[in-house]
Structures are given as C-alpha cells and as structure tokens.
Amino acid sequence: MPLEQPQSIRTIFFDAGFTLLYPHPSTPEICQRICQQLDLHIHLDALQERMVEADDFFFRQSRQERHLWASEEAINAFWLDYYMNFLRPFVEEHDEPRLYQLARRITQEFEQHTSWQIFPDVLPTLEVLKARKYTLGIISDWGISLGRILHEHHLNRYFDHMLVSALTRHAKPSPALYERAFLHSRRSRCTLGWHHTYPVRSPPAPAREQRRLYLDPLTHRSPGTAGDILIYVGT
C-alpha cells in the first residue's frame, strides 16, 4: 500500500536489533565459545536445536511482561533467565550456580560490540538518507549497552536521535515512546496519528536469525501544511 504524499517524509527512525545489527557470528556460536571458556563443551548442533525453545521462551516472556524492556534491571534479569533456560539441558543436575555463571558471562558478551555485526545494506542506506537530508534516529528495546555498541561500529554519526527503552523508561509499543520521537524530531506541535504496519521485507530464515523490517508510518498534520510523515523501520 503506497504512502500518501511520500515527498513529505522528513524523519526516519530505525530499530537496532535485526534491522541494523545482528549477532555475530550467531547466538549459538557465541554461547558455545563462552561455554568452552568456562569448561562446558557443547556441540554446536545441539545449541542450534535449542534455539526453537529459546524463541518460544523469548516471545512467551515478552508477552507476559510487556514493560520489561523499559528497565535496565528487568532487561538484565530477563537475559539471565533466558540463557539459564537455554543451557539448562546441558548442565548436570541442573546446577543453578553454574547456570547463573554461564548465563551471566554470555549476557556480558552480548553487551560487547564484537558480538554484533552490521547488515551489509545498512551503511549504503544510511549514506543515501543522510545525503538526502533526512533526519535519522533509533528507537530500540535494548539496554544501556546499545550506545557503546553503536559507537564502536561508528553508526552513531548517522543518527540525530536515539531512544533506547532502558533509558527512556518506555518500551515498544508504548505511545509515549513514539510521542517522544516526535518531540526529538521537533514536531511536537503536530497531532499524532497511527497508520497500519506495512511489511517491507522478511527473508526466510530461522526465527532468531530472521530479519524483519516494517514501516510504521506516523502521520500528523498541522494548519497550513500538507502533512508530514515520520517513518519507523523495525519490529
């Protein structure tokens, strides 16, 4: 479905995970490496098979605790539970202290920029958008480590605004988060309206590695204007 008045688009906000960045080399491989460093040796195939259950755990917990991404403490607790659940079949006698040690170390590893890679089409896209004078930003359900990750990948230079859930204390799909996006894009005097979500692309891949890009047009109009559109690209 085409957007009305596409020439009026001024601001574009991106999600970070699986839109700009993806785990590198992969979540199972990172977990395997950390486990090996802590003397737990697991075959990669076994970890890859566990990703189905891990995805179920992720989405189940996210639905039950809709606001968990709005707190750094809750985010850290979630990832500890996530990786403890992920590794539990591989730890003898369900040794909880051992599971906690492994999960904590993996969680810390994912706070490092070396565990994340930029999608190949991201930099060319951002270069074109900046050259065309669009205002760019990030809206992401992430912990405070995202700022450092973006900095180390030299991505922060492209973005005028960054709204991270752990810092704003609002998580998607909270209207307050998107209203703040309008404030940051200096359009706070306009009336906020929602449009439907349009899928841009969603290539076939395992759930955890699947990249999803959506457009969430936020349309507002003010007296004397034809209407401006703020685009959100992400999930």
pLDDT in tens, 73-105: 999 999 999 999 999 999 988 799 999 999 999
Are 161 and 192 found together in one domain?
yes
Write out the residue range of the structural domain in which residue 87 sits. 24-114
* Mean pLDDT score, 17-38: 96
- Is 215 a residue whose pLDDT tops 50? no
Which of residues 183 and 159 earns the better pLDDT score?
Answer: 159
- Is 30 a residue whose pLDDT tops 50? yes
Q: What is the pLDDT of residue 223?
A: 28
Among 114, 129, 148, give the residue marking a domain's end: 114
Total domains, the chain: 2
Q: What is the pLDDT of residue 188?
A: 32
Are 93 and 11 found together in one domain?
no
Are 92 and 191 found together in one domain?
no
Span of 1-5, 42-46, 115-119, 173-177 with lowest mean pLDDT: 1-5
Are 152 and 70 found together in one domain?
no
Are 100 and 130 found together in one domain?
no
Quick one: pLDDT band at residue 163, thresholds 50, 70, 90? very high
Long-range contacts made by residues 202-211, C-beta under 8 angstroms, separation at least 24?
206/51, 207/51, 207/52, 207/55, 208/27, 208/51, 208/54, 208/55, 209/22, 209/23, 209/26, 209/27, 210/18, 211/18, 211/19, 211/22, 211/119
Q: What is the pLDDT of residue 169?
A: 93
- Is 161 a residue whose pLDDT tops 60? yes
Q: What is the pLDDT of residue 2?
A: 52
Are 127 and 11 found together in one domain?
yes
* Mean pLDDT score, 148-168: 94
pTM of the model: 0.78
Are 144 and 217 found together in one domain?
yes
* Mean pLDDT score, 145-157: 97
Q: What is the pLDDT of residue 8?
A: 63
What does the alpha-carbon distance between residue 61 and residue 83 come to, in Å, rounded to a whole number?
13
| Backbone dihedral region for residue 114 (phi beyond 0: left; psi -120 to 50: alpha; all else: beta) | alpha
- CATH number at 167 reads 3.40.50.1000
Are 129 and 198 found together in one domain?
yes
Residue written as tokens 């990030």? 138
Among 85, 114, 143, give the residue marking a domain's end: 114
Which of residues 194 and 20 earns the better pLDDT score?
Answer: 20
Q: What is the pLDDT of residue 23?
A: 95
- Is 172 a residue whose pLDDT tops 60? yes
Q: What is the pLDDT of residue 1?
A: 45
Q: What is the pLDDT of residue 115?
A: 98
Residue 1 maps to a domain:
no
Residue 189 maps to a domain:
yes
Q: What percent of the chain has pLDDT over 90?
A: 54
What does the alpha-carbon distance between residue 231 and residue 234 come to, in Å, rounded to a whole number?
10
The strand pair at 9-14 and 198-201 is best described as unpaired
* Mean pLDDT score, 172-194: 63
Mean of pLDDT over the chain: 79
Q: What percent of the chain has pLDDT over 70?
A: 75
Q: What is the pLDDT of residue 233?
A: 62
